[in-house]
Amino acid sequence: MALAGSDSPLRGPLTLFFLLTAPAAVIGAALRGLEPIGRTIAALAGSVVVNMLVAQSMLALHSWSVRGGIVAVTAISCVLLLLVLVRRPPGRTTTRQGI
């Protein structure tokens, strides 16, 4: 909605929701070894860090725009997701024996 230029009242809340959940979902997938509560807290903190780094770098380069920020966060999330998928082969599980 934000990239399309919609004037819907849901544009702001849905954009904020996307900016927080896209990086958090990818970071949560990367931290699969943690307990669920720890993974959730770390993923949300990482999401805030990604958003802040994008905002600060765009402000430092004098190229701030809402659309540019959304595209940058989306690109970073996609790259991180690709790294997670490449790092972890599908179908591989860990089991504990002797416990």
List Cβ neighbours of 88 (8 Å cut-off, separation of 6 or more). 32
**Which residue range(s) make up the domain with 48?**
12-85
Domain contains 3: no
Please give the tally of structural domains in the chain: 1
Domain contains 31: yes
Q: Say what the pLDDT of residue 11 is.
A: 78
Domain contains 18: yes
Domain contains 90: no
Q: Tell the burial category of 47 from Cβ atoms under 10 Å away from its Cβ (0-12, 13-18, 19+).
A: buried
For the segment 65-80, what is each residue's pLDDT rounded down to a tens digit? 888 999 999 999 999 9
In this prediction, residue 20 has a pLDDT band, given cuts at 50, 70 and 90, of very high
